[in-house]
A and B are shown apart, each in its own frame.
Chain A
Amino acid sequence: EVNLVESGGGLVQPGGSLKLSCAASGFSFSGADIHWVRQASGKGLEGVGRMTTKSSNYATEYPASVKGRFTISRDDSKNMAYLQMNSLKTEDTAVYYCSFYRPAHGMDVWGQGTTVTVSS
């Protein structure tokens, strides 16, 4: 059974840092691209980054809104994905989801979401 468990969310002051974790099981973790997606209250979904697989050189890409502040990493030996968030802004407040894109399956695996609140 496919399962994702996210953790690490919480309250942080502007300018602070937070690291989200995503523990995966039940599918070929190493063969899936990692995506992090967020949703601010009352807003739509927003992709905040992607990391490919080892076969694609663990390439990462980020939108301008988080580039230079957010970093995605993975540990294929532990089936873990991470999102390191630095220099956090109030506009980063959202529910953050980890998600996985599997070839021939699409982005069909999603975590339950973890809430990040950036406030003083």
Chain B
Amino acid sequence: QSVLTQPPSVSAAPGQKVTISCSGSSSNIGVHWVSWYQHLPGTAPKLLIYEDDNRPSGIPDRFSGSKSGTSATLGITGLQTGDEADYYCGAWDNSLTAEVFGTGTKVTVL
């Protein structure tokens, strides 16, 4: 029951750029910070972006985040085969009183 909507998949050739959108509402993205995570099956999710557009230490600047109103976007430039994974946006939701996540986007490197 994800309340944040993402495209199911995006793909591009190595070296190219992809963007992943995350659409929410005034009870989550509209009033709270957005985070982005990279997730490989069987492993712990990895934080890529926090507080809308900040990268944790060790995350390359190929990854970027932005937010406008009730939507957010993750950008990945210089796509690498190691970037193939599922990507999720996340934010706190005041109405649901829970951390909510997006529907997930599978990134494929062609």
**Partner-B contacts on A (CB < 8 A):** 35, 37, 44-50, 61-65, 97, 99, 105-108, 110-113
Contacts and interface: CB of A to CB of B under 8 A. Distances in A.
Interface stretch (B11-19, B67-75, B97-105): B97-105
A99 B37 CA distance: 12
Contact of A63 (B33, B97, B102): B97
Contacts of A35: 99
B27 interface: no
Chain A binding site: helix, strand, loop or mixed by DSSP? strand
Interface in B19-42: 33, 35, 37, 39, 42
Pick the most buried of B96, B97, B100: most chain A CB atoms within 10 A of its CB. Answer: B97
B98 A44 contact: no
Nearest to B43: A112
Nearest to B54: A106
B54 A44 contact: no
Contact of B88 (A45, A49, A106, A112): A45
B56 interface: yes
B85 interface: no
